[in-house]
Amino acid sequence: MTTYDKYNELKPAVEAAGFFTTQDYCDRIICASRRFEHGLTGNSFWIAERDSVWYLGTWGPFLNHIPDASRVSDLCITWLGCTNETMADIDEALKTEYDLKPADIHSFDMRPD
């Protein structure tokens, strides 16, 4: 599986809901609520999969483990629809609804092999 394959379901689901994605050099999918002339803006965050474990990271920077991989797309779409402002961390109600667990941003492998 190439690094792009693991995101094959996420990207089209987010984009079909009217939002935007791009992949960065750290093998993450950036999700955003809006696009402008030079890139993405609005509520934005990143999603990454490492060794079959899914994460949602914010620019805060906060990192959350997503225990149920089958709900990643739904989580992204739901949070993108909540606001058009970039949030430091994900809403507490969504953390509860999706059973998100805090993860250590400092031990996260930003550049996997």
Q: What is the DSSP string of 31-87?
A: EEEEEETTEEEEEEEEEEEETTEEEEE-SSS-EEEES-GGGHHHHHHHHHTT-SSPP
Tens digits of residue pLDDT in 28-51: 999 999 998 888 989 999 999 998
pTM of the entire predicted model: 0.89
Kindly state the tokens that stand for 100: 């998100």
Average pLDDT on 72-81 reads 96
Chain position carrying tokens 């149920």:
68
Q: What is the number of domains present in the chain?
A: 1
Average pLDDT on 8-18 reads 95
- Residue 73 inside a domain? The answer is yes
Q: What is the pLDDT of residue 38?
A: 84
- Residue 113 inside a domain? The answer is no
Give the closest residue to 112 by CA, choosing from 56, 62, 50. 50
Q: What is the pLDDT of residue 25?
A: 80
Domain with 30 in it: 5-107
Q: How confident is the model at residue 1 (pLDDT cuts 50, 70, 90)?
A: very low
Whole-angstrom distance, CA of residue 15 vs CA of residue 99 = 24
